Amino acid sequence: MMLLLVGMLTLTYNAPSVEASKELPPLLLETGKDEYLLGELVNFTLTNIGNETVLFGGFPFCEVYTWTSWKPVAPEVFIYLAWSLDSGQSSSWTWDQFNGYNESPVEARLYVAKDIYGYNITTFFKIRAITVSIIGDINGDGIVDIYNVVIIAVNYGKIHL
């Protein structure tokens, strides 16, 4: 009788990550406000809040995604160029709420902007539908009451009554 003993030995070596070992620059990514109306320009600002100059390669400095699906909506084109921010300096980029990936206006929902440099700097903002209320003697009975209110909501380029 022959006995065969088979075993497995697994050796794991976790090399130090380049990303984990490099110190992240103190940067602040923000929008001008937390909530925007459909069609309103969204302004993004990247600020160097540290004491040293930070070098970058590519512009704009962030990409916009739908939250929580992480589908990219803007920009669809990046410019590869070297640029920098000195201490206290900022750079801005304005987005017109157009989804360049499917060539249509975006819809009202929550979005996240994330830096393109791998620092995982994010900022969240909401785009909400435009709502218009029309109040008057709509039914012609001579009385302005709850039966005379029309609410129109515009979302994703469609009008909802």
Q: Is 0.85 topped by the overall pTM? A: no
Q: Average of pLDDT values for 42-53?
A: 96
Rounded distance between C-alpha atoms, residue 22 and residue 3, angstroms: 52
pLDDT at 100 over 80: yes
Rounded distance between C-alpha atoms, residue 95 and residue 40, angstroms: 9
By the 8 A CB rule, do 106 and 67 touch?
no
Which pLDDT belongs to residue 148?
Answer: 62
Which pLDDT belongs to residue 65?
Answer: 97
Nearest Cα neighbor of 39 from 95, 113, 123 is 95
Residues of the chain with CATH 2.60.40.10: 24-128
Pairing of strands 122-128, 35-37: parallel
CATH architecture of 24-128: Sandwich (2.60)
By the 8 A CB rule, do 122 and 114 touch?
yes
Neighbouring residues of 93: CB distance < 8 A, sequence distance ≥ 6: 43, 44, 59, 60, 61, 62
Distance of CA 5 to the CA centre of its chain: 56
Which pLDDT belongs to residue 4?
Answer: 38
